[in-house]
Amino acid sequence: MRADGLSKGAGTAGSEAVLRLALKLDGAVSGLVAALSLLGARMLDEALGLPAWLHWGQGGFLAVYAAALWYGATRETVVRPIAVAAVVLNVVWALGCAALLTAGWFAITTLGVCYVGFIGVAVLVFASLQVAGLRRAAA
């Protein structure tokens, strides 16, 4: 028992709550985007102006990523290396979105620009929440 009357596990769980939530939200959204990408790649190809192979690749990656996030968030103690990797990957993903929008590799539709831009912003929000959770858990 600690001086405040809480067991070590109870204090850790409370300090990790923000990190757990951030990882679970990121995992849930990534899982949904994975399913959309894998199941709707041909439809998304036309609507967004991005090739089906890109959606399939994104979907495959995000399915594994989502599972890893959920695993890391649901252990008794959050798996810190997974949380740190999530921050790095989210920042890299946002940079990839920016590159996709500015490089002119594909004839991206207006809807595609909105989709990629929204994803870029969303992953930065997830990264920010995860950093806040990591800091709080370390305190």
For the whole model, what pTM was predicted?
A: 0.85
For each of the chain's 139 residues, which pLDDT tens digit applies?
Answer: 444 343 444 455 678 999 999 999 999 999 999 999 999 999 999 999 999 999 999 999 999 999 999 999 999 999 999 999 999 999 999 999 999 999 999 999 999 999 999 999 999 999 999 999 999 988 8
- Euclidean distance between the first and the last CA atom of the chain, given in angstroms as a whole number: 18
Residue 95 · residue 88 · CB < 8 Å: no
Quote the tokens at residue 106: 């594909």
* Extents of the domains making up the chain: 10-138
Residue 117 · residue 101 · CB < 8 Å: yes
Residue 70, C-beta contacts closer than 8 angstroms, at least 6 positions apart: 23, 24, 27, 28, 31
